[in-house]
Structure 1
Amino acid sequence: MEIWIIITKMILLVYIAIQCAQVNVIHISWVVLAFLVYFCANITLYLFKSHTVKKVLHVLSIGILTVAYLIVNPLFYLLLPLTIIELAASFIDKKLAVLLLSLLPVLYMKAWLQPIYGLAACLSFMIFSITSIYGEKLVKNEAQKDEMRKQLQKLTKHIHENSEYIRQSEYTFKLEERNRISQEIHDKIGHSMTGALFQMEAAKRLVETDQHKATELLQNAINISKEGIENIRLTLKNMKPPTEQVGIHRLKLLVDDFNAKQTIKTVLTHEGNLDIIAPIHWKIIHENVTEALTNAMKYSYATQVSVNLKILNKMIRVEVKDNGAGTEMIKKGLGIIGMEERTAAVNGKIIVDSTNGFSVTTLLPLGT
């Protein structure tokens, strides 16, 4: 804002200098002195941030211009309106009052100078008002940017804290799970194996003196070992999550990750018995959905994508459909070709449709 006010003052100074040169002012040294004093006072004005100092320098400038008007040249009064406006704006909020105050000196000056002074006052007021409005908007925008930066820093900090909490939670859960498995193996299997070992050690000592007892002890050890092996099998079976839980969980993670990284809203729905989906089917479903979502992100210009998994009587149907622009002619790139090859490996089929948005449907026969 200040730069435009300085430019305005320089233009007025140049105008006054040209007018003084044209009329061949006798005391040119006084004109130069008035120029220098006014210039120094106004340059100093913009070097200080204190409002009190600024007001004092504005009053000094008014005094300099009044002396220059009376002694050197009346045209120096053309610089007076902008100085009055700057001073008045610091303690008067109403702009009309500031304009009237800058026009007040016109009542006490020479008649031939009044029109020029009025024009200079109006132009100075317009320039000051425009620069003030622009300056206020600039300050407001900077304040908003600072606030947004602070909010962004807070959000980033919260994200990092949440990410760290998630990592710590995952690590804690893993430790707890390892501790649970260790305790379960110790309680159910460790005692059985120790008992079997004692039975075999005793049988070893009796094998020469009492073969019947040794045989009995060995049989006990065999029974205990069988029971321990069965416990191991049951423990591992109970710990291993069902295939359908792993498959649908991976699919949900894929959709959630896509939602977090992209602006496209993605919705996953499923219906039917997930237990009958084989691991190879889950692998193909996951890879095909990944490829379809990637294509939707790159080419569809969509705002929403739906992923629907449906178990039918004799097949699995997975549709990835977006609400994008679609295309008149479908060109099969490496992505779709790869999906077709993966699906064909289990006698499945890929259907691509672009009549309403773009959709890729994977059909997988059950029992393959």
Structure 2
Amino acid sequence: MPPRRRLLQTADWAFIVVVIAAYVSLFTAAGVAFTPVEVLALVGLGLLYIGIGTYLFENYVLGTAVRIRLLYFGAQFLLAIAITLLAHFSGAFWLLLLPLVSHGAVLFERWGVVTFSALTTLIFGLLIGIPNGWQIGVTAVLSFVPGVVFVVIFTQMAMSEARARSEGERLARDLAEAHAALARYAVQAEELATARERNRLAREIHDSLGHYLTAINVQLEAARALARENPAQALAPLERAQTLTKEGLHEVRRSVAALRASPLEGKALTTVLAALAAECSAAGIATAFTVNGEPRPLSPQVELTLYRTVQEALTNVRKHAQARHAGVTLTYTAQEVRLKVTDDGIGSDMPTSDGFGLVGLRERVQLLGGELRLASEVGAGFELELSLHEG
């Protein structure tokens, strides 16, 4: 429900409760008796007062011209005076005026609120002063003013809170829309990057491998033509085709090597592992990276396996673990290097499940003669330990 609608419903109930309280005081006032006709008239006027102050105010007065607002208050003041006269000025009839003060604070600006509140106070003073004397009327007005001030301030605070909540909800909607748009743009950017990479690879294949294949085909055609008339001369184009084949194979290997460039190239292992831990921390999971022992150069295969293991483990922590903390510990000993990755997430009763995405890592570790151990329990987080012999 919108904050404005919620505020109006609350105001309607407050209006009804105040009028009921005023009527309870009227009918329970000591020494006052009402005829059946007076009771019916009072009840009818009270219901009309409530209907105008709730339904008509909400649907036909709010947001209208000043003339309509003044007509509304004129009608309500006349009803309040009529009820007071019928009640013989008994009970807390002044309660009927407080909802009108609140409505004035809603419909008018600063000086309009002051003027309207003063007018309401004047009407209250007249209703008290005429039957009881002006001295009592002035005293009653002095007691009534704090109530008017309280109602105005409370109404202004409620309106400010409703506006702030409405603005907050609008900003939340705008943020959600911006987030959705950003997600769409990210997908589009990824698709564009993929298309550009495909085009680049197509150009690379056309300019390199296509060139060699075309040249080889020409040499083979020449060799076939010469083979019929002069087989000895056919060897020269075959040798050139073989040379071009070797050059093309070298070019293919160079291109594949460029595509498979190692993330560790030119960087220390501890530096890239610390960067992976920092990425995980930036994703909202506080990740500590610790190095024990003296770091030393390792073989490229061992360093790449350690890197991929940490990368895969932290990726799964972000995706599945629902963890708040994670840790990466790299330990150098004389004969081996050990890696340990832990988290405090929800854990699993199947820590060795292929669903964890570690099949490729197991294969890497086995090829290097190492050991990979996974441990987890439901509610106890996840632990991965890797040891590789590297003297």
Deviations 1:115-163 (A, max 9, x none): 8888777567646643542342122112112112212312321231132
| Residues 1:86 and 2:98 are matched in the alignment | no
Cα distance between partner residues in 1 of 2:214 and 2:301: 36
> 1:152 is paired with a residue of what secondary structure?
helix
Aligned equivalent of 1:152, options 142, 164, 176? 176
Does 2:351 align with 1:334?
Answer: yes
- What is the aligned counterpart of 2:237 among 213, 221, 234? 221
> 1:199, 1:221 within 8 Å by CA — same for their partners in 2?
yes
The correspondence of residues 11-160 of structure 1 with structure 2, limited to 5 A, is: 11-15=20-24, 18-19=27-28, 23-26=32-35, 27-28=37-38, 29-42=40-53, 43-48=55-60, 49-51=62-64, 52=66, 53-70=68-85, 73-75=88-90, 76-87=93-104, 90-91=107-108, 93=110, 102-108=120-126, 109=128, 110-111=131-132, 126=150, 129-160=153-184
For residues 162-211 of structure 1, give each alpha carbon's deviation from its aligned partner in whole angstroms, at most 9, with x where no partner exists: 3212211221221221222122123233123312321221221x1xxxxx
Write out aligned runs for 1:257-296 (5 A).
Answer: 259=280, 262-265=283-286, 276-277=300-301, 282=304, 286-287=308-309, 289-291=311-313, 294=316
What is aligned with 1:232?
Answer: 248
CA contact (8 A) 2:287 2:328 kept: yes
Q: Which runs of 5+ in 1 are unaligned?
A: 207-213, 326-330
* Aligned mates of 2:312, 2:232 — CA distance in 1: 60
Number of residue equivalences: 346
Equivalent position SS for 2:387: strand
Moved more, 19-28 or 152-161: 19-28
CA deviations 1:241-293 (Å, max 9, x no partner) are: 269734659x99x9599749942155889987676316xx7457535653466
TM-score (norm: length of structure 1): 0.70
How much is the aligned-residue C-alpha RMSD, in angstroms?
5.0
| Aligned-residue identity in percent | 10
Deviation of 1:227 after TM superposition, in Å, equals: 0.9
2:269 counterpart residue number: none
SS of the residue 2:257 aligns to: coil
Q: Do the aligned partners of 2:101 and 2:152 also contact (CA within 8 Å) in 1?
A: no
Task: State the distance in 2 between where 1:103 and 1:70 align.
Answer: 17
1:210 alignment counterpart: none
In 2, Cα distance between equivalents of 1:269 and 1:159: 35
Letter in 2 for 1:225: A
1:230: how far off? 0.7
